[in-house]
Amino acid sequence: MSKFAERLKEIRVEKGLSRQELASKMFVSVRLVSYWENGQRECDFDTLIKLSNILGESIDYLLGRTDL
């Protein structure tokens, strides 16, 4: 599993969001969020920015480039 997939799920759970809630905030399907969290798909740059803003985490952290 990719670092992004691990961190996305970890942060979502820490924030108390269900996959459905995150999907609604992102205007994507629950299935797509599941694909991201299972490492089956990657998101594009614009989506990564949106995830970063919604989850309140840096892009570097989401991608596993930093541990902060």
Q: Which residues of 19-41 are buried (b: 16+ CB within 10 A; e: fewer)?
A: beebbeebebeeebbebbbeeee
For the chain, the structural domain boundaries read: 3-62
Q: What is the pTM of this model?
A: 0.92
Class of domain 3-62: mainly alpha
Place of tokens 């108390």: 16
pLDDT value, residue 52: 97
Take residue 18 and report the two structure tokens written for it.
């269900």
What per-residue confidence (pLDDT) applies to 39?
Answer: 95
Query: What pLDDT score was predicted for residue 44?
Result: 94
pLDDT score for 68:
73
Q: How do the pLDDT tens digits run along the chain, 68 residues long?
A: 799 999 999 999 999 999 999 999 999 999 999 999 999 999 999 999 999 999 999 999 999 999 87
CB atoms inside a 10 Å sphere around CB 53: 11
